[in-house]
Amino acid sequence: MPPNLRCAARWSRNKRVAIDVLIITDALFQHQDGLQCHPDVLLWQQQLAGRRCSWYECAAKNPLAWYSALTECAPAALLGEAASSSIPVGTRQIWVASPYHAQLMRDAVHVLPEGQLTWTADDAVRLCKVLNPLLAEEQMHLLHVGAALMLTCNKVLDAYPPAFASIAGHLLPAHHHDGEDGGRLDRLLSELQMLLFQHPSIERHERQESDINGIWLWGAAEWPQRDELAPRHIPVATRNPFLQAIVDGRSARLMISDSARLDELLQSGSDLPATLVLAGDGYAAVMKKSWLPGWGKLGWQPKSVKAEPALLSMLQSQA
């Protein structure tokens, strides 16, 4: 078992490891009646009641993007540091490459939420073997870092796709990406989709797991990184495969999870950490235990919303 999982397991069994902060990356979502809390989070609603709640603006972030924001380092640069010895000579740019399963709707393509996609290091190795022959023609190379995937480029792409958190659980964009190379990136991603359609994973089918229909490139960084951009590392307990590739969970005071994997980190009856961050769809609700009673019933209407930098600063001081 990786160190970060041992940390989470020890905490949930006997609480010897003190987790102070839990960030749930997709706990909130917009519904026809307004902002709602994810059903998997509401299983813990008895422990949510009575907490004092503060609201913040918060852009969509998956677990890797949250760690990136807290360490002030680009997502791809975090993977690059973990796999620096494997990055080909001549690389000038690196990207996070997130695999996804897509569901075709009547007039759009819906992407399965990241937490619902089973993904392992073996899956990452296989995907590299399938896609690298085509990518080599573009002077690109797909690397696996544990279960995480990173794309290296010998030429810098001037393209600006949205972060994967704004895609997972939502619709694929129906327009070209911004930047001079936005069209080129669209064509490349389409070619990779076709190649994956032609080479489905027999192993995933045997395990009755969703097909991988494409990869999403995001979180780009220049390479090599300048020394002054080296990240500040924070111990984190998590079950997210991409974040697991770069963090150490020993002595972790911070836990980051999406809603679907929350139950793997926490056991029924466990006490939730003192600080909960329920994020999603543009907001984050910070819920803290307090000796002062909370007022009114549990609600999800943002009030007195503060800017995101204040949220990140507060969490950095606690991590």
pLDDT tens digits along 233-275: 899 999 999 999 999 888 899 999 999 998 888 865 578 899 9
Task: Based on the fold, state whether residues 239 and 145 are members of the same structural domain.
Answer: no
Which of 228, 250, 274 is where one domain is finished? Answer: 228
Task: Based on the fold, state whether residues 49 and 194 are members of the same structural domain.
Answer: no
What's the pLDDT at 19?
87
Task: Based on the fold, state whether residues 168 and 54 are members of the same structural domain.
Answer: no
Q: What is the mean pLDDT of residues 183-188?
A: 94
Task: Based on the fold, state whether residues 82 and 119 are members of the same structural domain.
Answer: yes
For the chain, what percent of residues have pLDDT higher than 90? 73
pLDDT tens digits along 98-108: 999 999 888 88
Q: Specify the higher pLDDT residue, 233 or 315.
A: 315
CB-count burial class (<10 Å; 0-12, 13-18, 19+) for 289: middle
Average per-residue pLDDT for the chain = 89
Using alpha carbons, select from 185, 145, 142 the residue that is nearest to residue 162. 185
Residue span of the structural domain in which 13 resides: 3-64+232-318
What's the pLDDT at 267?
67
Task: Based on the fold, state whether residues 80 and 182 are members of the same structural domain.
Answer: yes
Residue 14 in this model has a pLDDT that exceeds 60: no
Residue 229 in this model has a pLDDT that exceeds 80: no
3-state secondary structure 49-77: CCCEEEEEECCCCCHHHHHHHHHCCCHHH
What's the pLDDT at 213?
96
What's the pLDDT at 5?
47
Task: Based on the fold, state whether residues 7 and 116 are members of the same structural domain.
Answer: no
111 CA to centre of own chain = 14
For the chain, what percent of residues have pLDDT higher than 70? 90
What's the pLDDT at 8?
45
What's the pLDDT at 47?
85
Lowest mean pLDDT among 48-52, 93-97, 115-119, 222-226: 48-52
Which of 228, 247, 276 is where one domain is finished? Answer: 228
Task: Based on the fold, state whether residues 159 and 36 are members of the same structural domain.
Answer: no
Q: What is the mean pLDDT of residues 159-186?
A: 92
Task: Based on the fold, state whether residues 107 and 131 are members of the same structural domain.
Answer: yes
Residue 31 pLDDT class (50, 70, 90 cuts): confident
What's the pLDDT at 111?
96
CB burial readout 157-196, b (16+ within 10 A) else e? bebebebbbbbbbbeeeeeebeeebbebbbebbeebbeeb
Residue 214 pLDDT class (50, 70, 90 cuts): very high
Task: Based on the fold, state whether residues 213 and 110 are members of the same structural domain.
Answer: yes
Which of 228, 256, 281 is where one domain is finished? Answer: 228
Task: Based on the fold, state whether residues 218 and 240 are members of the same structural domain.
Answer: no
Residue 12 pLDDT class (50, 70, 90 cuts): very low
Within 10 Å of residue 107's Cβ, how many Cβ atoms?
7
